[in-house]
Structure 1
Amino acid sequence: MRLAALVPSISAELVSSLDQCGIRTDTDLVLKPAIEIYRQLPPKTITLYDLEQAVARVTELASAPGISGSDMLIIETEKQNRAPFLSSGIETLDRLLDGFGGCRVVQISGDKQSGKTTLVLNIVLRHLAEFSDGNIVWIDTTGDFSAEQAANILDLFTSEVKTRLPA
């Protein structure tokens, strides 16, 4: 990270002085002994103690927050428990597969024009109707995707969801 990006957390004057010494990034600053840097700086730029404090501050700002393994396990477990249930809208298929989604990959294959794209589009649009803050990326490699048609289907699914909700 460029030291200039850390102003005002560290002073612009110090950043300028360090730049003149060839120290322009957090890596340049943190990996070099403070006493060496101090000797390169013009006299009375900063005290050695204040330079060490600035290095500590840069280290703090440039470092990723620490996380323990047990905390990470809890976070990942919670993510898995929140994995969405994706419905195809075909009750027997959903029951057979226990829905789509969760922490697994489902491959849909079949002959040309057998309905693979239609099935996946239905799953995606049902999910968006149920979770309006959701995001989906649709990559159309054939040019057959119609955003207008998808929006119409989404409106239909959204009204279905609203009728299921208790008043």
Structure 2
Amino acid sequence: MRLDSDLLTPDPLSVSLVEALARLAIHTSADLLLSDASNTLRSSQTPLQSRALNIYKRLPAGTISLRDLELCLLSVLKKIATPGIAASDLQSRPRTYLSSFPALNRLIDHDNSRGFPSQNVYEISGDHEAGKSTLILNIVLRYLLSQPSDILWIDTTGDFAVDRSLEILQNLMEEPQYSYPPTIDLDSDMDPFAPSPPSLESIKEDALTRLHVSVAFDIQTTYEILDSLGLSTNSSATFVPIQCLVIDALTPLLSPHLSAVSAQGHSLVTTFMHQLKILAVKFDLVVFVINNATLLPPTQNQVNSDPNTVALTSSFSHSRSIFPFVNKKPALGPSFPYMTDATLWIAEWQDVSEAGGDIPGDGTTLHMIEIFRSRMSASNTWCRFKIRGSIVE
């Protein structure tokens, strides 16, 4: 991790100290903690104290005291270290599952069809208007109706619409398992003082109250939002009411920092995704990051072939999809999928005649979701689903 990253500067490393270290060719946490380790470690010194002394001798006089430098190195070590968890604690911790439609539940959780397990970060990628946000919004609202937990939705584009949420909630509450108000058996014994069942409006209001929507247009604001809710790697808390985190979309936050001539942006992206994974494990979260798409480059034989025949081929290099019509890939670079636990690709289905049923003429569209890569389920598996307005069917 670079020393001038937001996680290390200005706390615990001051800007002046980072600049002084840079003049000594110490730019990263590895340079600070590991490089040029002393081979003459005294019996009374720890490796950290020995490293601090070596750096202190090279710094200009008056830059920082030796004791403060030792504390800075210790703070950096705590910041970048992954916290340990006992295996017995992992076994006893219950896991949260966010359920979707049955076919997708089986793809993600093949054995029990429970849906998306917690403690994982899921990348939801696809082209513009492929249905990414709509699918995730249906999933989180379904969870809010069935569980008394909270969900944090970080909107990076300012496109979140409450009207869509109300439409989805209304549709979900018409399903049998969410029948409100509950059916009353007049023949059964009833407590005359029992509270009346909640109204439809109060149920919708309660669900929307537990859906926390925040707007963030940069990485620093995102960190501040997470810290304000106790979602911090430095937090001593082991429980927060938030059970799911959605970032819609991640691409506008990270893509401005990526460059083909500098590794600093890649370091920032890696650090941010690493922090999300730590939060997911520490607080038992389900994390969804929505990513955009970018065009695939043509294969070599496409480039060299006759221009009149290029349109007949549907082969694209570096494609993770099993479908020939998929000519795009997730944005943010080829290494980004390896920073998440699963990459799901969503696209509109090209051949509606193969849907296995008629598509009504009410604006319903047919979509497919394919697992490009996953650590907990089989890759290159897929299923279809329909979107009617804002409703996933």
Normalising by the smaller structure, the TM-score range is 0.5 to 0.7
* Counterpart code for 2:16: E
**What CA distance in whole angstroms lies between the structure 1 residues aligned with 2:387 and 2:348?**
19
Could you tell me which of 22, 25, 30 is aligned with 1:27?
30
Q: Which is worse superposed, 136-145 or 42-51?
A: 136-145
Aligned to 2:61: 43
> 3-state SS of the aligned residue for 1:53?
helix
Structure 1 residue runs of 5 or longer lacking an equivalent are 89-98, 107-124, 158-167
Aligned to 1:132: 141
**What CA distance in whole angstroms lies between the structure 1 residues aligned with 2:350 and 2:27?**
48
Following superposition, the deviation at residue 128 of structure 1 comes to 7.8
Following superposition, the deviation at residue 138 of structure 1 comes to 4.8
| Count of paired positions | 126
Q: Given the superposition, is the C-alpha separation of residues 133 and 29 from structure 1 closer, same or farther in structure 2, using an over 3 Å criterion?
A: farther
TM-score, structure 2 as length reference: 0.27
> 3-state SS of the aligned residue for 1:104?
coil
Aligned to 2:351: 144
**What CA distance in whole angstroms lies between the structure 2 residues aligned with 1:141 and 1:129?**
17
Structure number with higher helix proportion: 1
- What CA deviation, in whole Å up to 9, does each residue of 1:2-26 have, x standing for no partner? 1111111121111111111111111
**What CA distance in whole angstroms lies between the structure 2 residues aligned with 1:141 and 1:46?**
59
Aligned to 1:165: none
Aligned to 2:277: none
Identity of aligned residues (%): 28
Structure 2 residue runs of 5 or longer lacking an equivalent are 38-50, 113-133, 144-287, 289-342, 353-358, 366-385
1:104 aligns with 2:107: no
Structure number with higher strand proportion: 2
- What CA deviation, in whole Å up to 9, does each residue of 1:109-163 have, x standing for no partner? xxxxxxxxxxxxxxxx9x9867536779454597236994222287485xxxxxx
Contact between 1:85 and 1:100, CA under 8 Å: does it hold in 2? no
Following superposition, the deviation at residue 57 of structure 1 comes to 0.9
Q: Given the superposition, is the C-alpha separation of residues 85 and 18 from structure 1 closer, same or farther in structure 2, using an over 3 Å criterion?
A: closer
Greater RCO (CA < 8 Å, at least 6 residues apart):
2
